[in-house]
Chain A
Amino acid sequence: MPAIEQISETLIRNNITRAVGDVFRTMLGRELALRAAAQSAPSWPPCQPAAGPIDTGPHIVGSVGFIGSVNGLLYLYLDLPFARVCTGHMLGMTDGELEEAGDEVINDAIGEITNMTVGSFKNGLCDAGFPCTLTIPSILRGSSFSIEPISSVVRHTYAFETAGHRVVTDILMKIGD
């Protein structure tokens, strides 16, 4: 049975960087750059550049799990205005159309972006010898919250940036039972 330590931080970082980069490039025409990495929970608000004003506004977080030889959850944080931009671009909808369609369409779009990102990430784990499958996406919305896992979990947080917007991935993993 694999030990969580066999999954190196390099493997995790390379997989998530590739996954996030591919999804945002293909779906949204945006290039993301890795700005920071940590093995702790993201601070609030999570999507902040190193300098400049702090945005304490609402955020949306997509999450998808993976289960198998490695079990985990990946949370994808975006500030709400950027989530709206991403949704409008993906679905070809104007601001007015998004307003009319309501929160559900943004939730669905961010859920799909998260699903694609986690799919690509976990496929990298599969190909490295840690087979696992995806769970269904879920969405959180809020202005100030933290996610606290149980103590046996390994945590890796990465912050990416594109054109002034920050995208944070929060990965929690443990070995499969």
Chain B
Amino acid sequence: MRYKILTVDDSKTVRIIVRKAFKGYDCDILEAGNGVEGLALAAKESPDLILLDVTMPVMDGVEMLTKLKSDPALKAIPVMMLTAEGGRDHVRNIAKIGVREQKSIASPCAATPWIFQGMCFSPSWI
């Protein structure tokens, strides 16, 4: 099964890094540059996972996440916040909206094997 991963980030550099990080895995990478594009692509493509930045123009990650979780058609899509903002209070606020996992990591590369393993071997986790 070929997975679809949607990366939502205003930084083209981060989107390139994500694409490069998942190169060896059996998945398609979809890209959006802000929350508005992200919501549209999520509705159209029904990705298996969304990697979501927080600080973006037009619509930031928190607003996009809130809208995702309030849409019956989209709320079941698992979301991982990929952001440099990782203080405890921030994590707590995001968790209230409905994110089960947040990775404040130096790089998507570090999380890639962990993400893909979760997807392949524990579909119930997803």
A interface residues (Cβ-Cβ under 8 A, vs B) = 22-23, 25-27, 90-92, 105, 108-109, 111-112, 115-116, 118-120, 122-123, 126-127, 131-134, 136
B40 at interface, CB cutoff 8 A: no
Contacts of B14 in A (CB 8 A): 112
Contacts of B90 in A (CB 8 A): 126, 133
**14 pairs of residues in contact across A and B, judged by CB atoms under 8 Å:** A22-B106, A25-B106, A27-B109, A90-B13, A91-B13, A108-B11, A109-B13, A112-B17, A126-B87, A126-B88, A131-B89, A133-B90, A134-B55, A134-B85
Given known contacts A112-B13, A119-B85, A123-B87, is B55 in contact with A136 (CB within 8 Å)? yes
Nearest neighbor of B17 in chain A, beta-carbon distance = A90
Task: Decide: A119 and B84 in contact? CB cutoff 8 A.
Answer: yes
B interface residues (Cβ-Cβ under 8 A, vs A) = 11-14, 16-17, 20, 55, 83-90, 104-107, 109-110
Contacts of A131 in B (CB 8 A): 87, 89
Task: Decide: A91 and B17 in contact? CB cutoff 8 A.
Answer: yes
Task: Decide: A27 and B84 in contact? CB cutoff 8 A.
Answer: no
Task: Decide: B88 and A119 in contact? CB cutoff 8 A.
Answer: no
Given known contacts A92-B20, A122-B87, is B13 in contact with A26 (CB within 8 Å)? no
Task: Decide: B110 and A26 in contact? CB cutoff 8 A.
Answer: yes
Q: How far is the CB of A169 from chain B (nearest CB, A)?
A: 15
Partner of B107, one of A26, A108, A109, A127: A26
Judged by DSSP, the binding face of A is helix
Q: How far is the CB of A115 from chain B (nearest CB, A)?
A: 5
Partner of A112, one of B11, B20, B55, B110: B11
Complex Cα–Cα for A90 and B106 (A): 12
Partner of A116, one of B87, B89, B106: B106
Task: Decide: B87 and A108 in contact? CB cutoff 8 A.
Answer: no
Contacts of A123 in B (CB 8 A): 84-87, 104
Give 4 nearest A-B pairs by CB, closest first: A119-B84, A126-B87, A26-B106, A108-B13
Partner of A91, one of B20, B89, B105: B20
Task: Decide: A133 and B106 in contact? CB cutoff 8 A.
Answer: no
Complex Cα–Cα for A111 and B85 (A): 15
Complex Cα–Cα for A109 and B107 (A): 12
Contacts of B110 in A (CB 8 A): 26
Partner of B84, one of A90, A108, A109, A115: A115
Partner of A120, one of B11, B16, B84, B89: B84
Given known contacts A26-B105, A123-B104, is B12 in contact with A116 (CB within 8 Å)? no
Task: Decide: B89 and A126 in contact? CB cutoff 8 A.
Answer: yes
